[in-house]
Structure 1
């Protein structure tokens, strides 16, 4: 498997990448084709780029390459509280130079990929021919979404059984992808997260979430330094990435060649790149946009400037753009963490959180079987339970699960066991329990009567009614 090892005095990361060449390496690139560098969707990895790598409009006319961010997918790294989108941009630049890549068209697929692409174009303009950005998020994370993301992450990382893990996954997917996601796609997403993001890897999950929640915007002067052609793609029904954010970014890119172009994908929501219908429209728009950009070659040749000198220049340029106090002479240019712009207070808080999530992580719940695969499909389990979640997110009791013709003996035995206070050893799903039968176990009257009542009905019924 292809990796690029990035090592320095204070950092180490092994970055996984995939290409569209016959043998999966850069040496197989066609020099006559331009190259597209794809940055994968947020929380996912390059395994979710089949809609791009499998589209003949892209792989037949362009060389494709994609990298897993350092804390997701096949890449590995040492967790750090200093990780931000500047660090991701430095990772891409180091990989670009080590692989002797040609200048690329950067295709960023939502969220963290957009922030990384903008910073990559700022610090390394000669490596970036153009920018295509999907679903531009808010410059800073809104408070209400930040709280929801953090709660979902904690519920996932500290789930103690499969039911709680699937519940956390359901809530997270509904929040990021919307309520109308296809069931099969939802199953694939949950299975992928169970394999790549199980609770045992929660320090890296916390690191990734921290980059999103604690992000900081660029200054207007920095946006004005971007001179490449820019295409902004926006999903019409994206709730987290409103169109106003795309319009604001386009207005700030005052020096983008011919001005930033916004294209709205009708009927599409979040994560345009993984839903086949939306992805096809995005790919078509991208190819039309690139057809208007001067065509470039993809000759694999070593860079003219050494990696050390080029990264030193990037550190100096970053200091001028963001007003960074530390000069490049006191930092290691070959370390991606040297490009971090996280304040000391936030870096310490993120480091403390990562350390907290590291405690006892090896004993965390494992959702995979002995073969390394998920134990079950999440959707198959939902239909077997009589207490379900409706489309509006409200819990309802589906009485159609119960058979109407149940023998009275079973019902009498159940009531007898309940009055005696003996809890059965197995979970009993009474098939004669209708909505009318349920009401008779609801205690009506003053609280004193409820407290004095020795029994509230069938085992488990009291917990569900309270």
Structure 2
């Protein structure tokens, strides 16, 4: 599993990442002259939440796809102190690009990942060529959503506050308390939608969480920082902040999002236009907060269209990549870097296909 060691202003970290190209589901390098998309995950989940994007030939045959576990999440390591913020996570991504010598990228973010993406595009506009923000948050956390997140954290705290976890080892969790917590997280992320992929994404995230966020009071501080403080203490962006972002922006509002109604997305769009952005698109799609998992056939074309509107892939490089390594037919799902991890929890995409529409 590829990991990149970085020295940052807030300590040394290891970022776990994958690069998927038309040639390979797990490549050491991008294909030159093809646009690259970096995926920034949301709360609770890690990069496996983008399985339905990495398996889609309409994305994989056109672009380099790069997924990263943020610091302290998934298989990435590094100190997450009480002062850790989305802005620090954004700088981690900037250093990641610098070290791998990857030129400007397009960004697809999910939920709180959008806050990281906006901080990144603001601080390093040369890095970010376009933003596609799926389920971005409201300026401030709504009280009912805040209460739900605190309830989830309380269940997690009570189930895992005892000693038992060690680095790279799962903590011994209280199953009786974990079950309602998992249901609460799934309700927030997937609403009433359930399928083998939502279950596998949930269980993969739970396994990582039992390693990263459980086992001692000190570790629980890191968990609270990322799962609570990032939400209830997040920076409120203003017009001046948005004016420093230079790239086109697409906002995807998911109509079944129980926490963040459409009006927040509309207010966000209005602020961007007030800041001088003319290339802003607000799209509405069915589905829950993490609609990219349950409705990828609606989400993925929006992402592809945004990237292609900025930079058309080099046709020669794309055809060469396809002839060397693409899998299956036009609609057959492709192998991803997450296949083995998700298969442990019953998800197998080998025979799946999506409609061409």
Q: Following the alignment from structure 1 to structure 2, what is the Cα–Cα distance between the partners of residues 175 and 122?
A: 28
Aligned residue runs from structure 1 range 43-58, under 5 A: 43-58=44-59
The answer as to whether partners of 2:81 and 2:221 remain within 8 angstroms in 1 is no
- Residue 23 of structure 1 and its aligned partner are, at CA, apart by 7.0
The answer as to whether partners of 1:17 and 1:68 remain within 8 angstroms in 2 is yes
Tell me if 1:100 matches 2:92: no
- Residue 55 of structure 1 and its aligned partner are, at CA, apart by 0.6
The residue number in structure 1 matching 2:278 is 258
The answer as to whether partners of 1:226 and 1:253 remain within 8 angstroms in 2 is no
Tell me if 1:172 matches 2:185: yes
TM-score (normalizing by structure 1): 0.59
Question: Aligned to 2:45, what secondary structure does the other structure show?
Answer: coil
The answer as to whether partners of 2:142 and 2:259 remain within 8 angstroms in 1 is no
The answer as to whether partners of 2:112 and 2:136 remain within 8 angstroms in 1 is no
Q: Following the alignment from structure 1 to structure 2, what is the Cα–Cα distance between the partners of residues 231 and 9?
A: 31
- Residue 144 of structure 1 and its aligned partner are, at CA, apart by 2.9
Aligned residue runs from structure 1 range 238-317, under 5 A: 238-254=257-273, 258-265=278-285, 267-275=286-294, 278-295=295-312
The residue number in structure 1 matching 2:353 is none
Could you list the per-position Cα deviations for residues 56-110 of structure 1 after superposition, in whole angstroms to 9, with x for gaps in the alignment? 111101111111110210101113011111011101001010110111111112x
Q: Following the alignment from structure 1 to structure 2, what is the Cα–Cα distance between the partners of residues 240 and 105?
A: 26
Range that drifts further, 244-253 or 195-204:
195-204
Cα-Cα RMSD:
2.5
The answer as to whether partners of 1:105 and 1:130 remain within 8 angstroms in 2 is yes
Question: Aligned to 2:74, what secondary structure does the other structure show?
Answer: coil
Question: Aligned to 1:253, what secondary structure does the other structure show?
Answer: helix
The answer as to whether partners of 2:40 and 2:109 remain within 8 angstroms in 1 is yes
Q: Following the alignment from structure 1 to structure 2, what is the Cα–Cα distance between the partners of residues 66 and 270?
A: 19
What are structure 2's unaligned runs of at least 5 residues? 160-172, 315-340, 347-357
Range that drifts further, 71-80 or 252-261:
252-261
- Residue 186 of structure 1 and its aligned partner are, at CA, apart by 5.3
Tell me if 1:145 matches 2:157: no
Tell me if 1:207 matches 2:225: yes
Q: Following the alignment from structure 1 to structure 2, what is the Cα–Cα distance between the partners of residues 213 and 139?
A: 10
Question: Aligned to 1:263, what secondary structure does the other structure show?
Answer: strand
- Residue 193 of structure 1 and its aligned partner are, at CA, apart by 3.6
Q: Following the alignment from structure 1 to structure 2, what is the Cα–Cα distance between the partners of residues 190 and 132?
A: 23
The answer as to whether partners of 1:40 and 1:113 remain within 8 angstroms in 2 is yes
Question: Aligned to 2:279, what secondary structure does the other structure show?
Answer: coil
Question: Aligned to 2:33, what secondary structure does the other structure show?
Answer: coil
Q: Mark the structure with the bigger radius of gyration.
A: 1
The residue number in structure 2 matching 1:136 is 136
The residue number in structure 2 matching 1:318 is none
- Equivalent residue in structure 1 for 2:255, among 236, 239, 242: 236
Could you list the per-position Cα deviations for residues 444-463 of structure 1 after superposition, in whole angstroms to 9, with x for gaps in the alignment? xxxxxxxxxxxxxxxxxxxx
TM-score (normalizing by structure 2): 0.76
Q: From the superposition, tell whether residues 190 and 222 of structure 1 become closer, same or farther in structure 2 (CA, over 3 Å).
A: closer
The answer as to whether partners of 2:45 and 2:202 remain within 8 angstroms in 1 is no
Question: Aligned to 2:284, what secondary structure does the other structure show?
Answer: strand
Q: Following the alignment from structure 1 to structure 2, what is the Cα–Cα distance between the partners of residues 257 and 31?
A: 30
Tell me if 1:219 matches 2:234: no
Q: From the superposition, tell whether residues 34 and 144 of structure 1 become closer, same or farther in structure 2 (CA, over 3 Å).
A: same
- Residue 120 of structure 1 and its aligned partner are, at CA, apart by 0.8
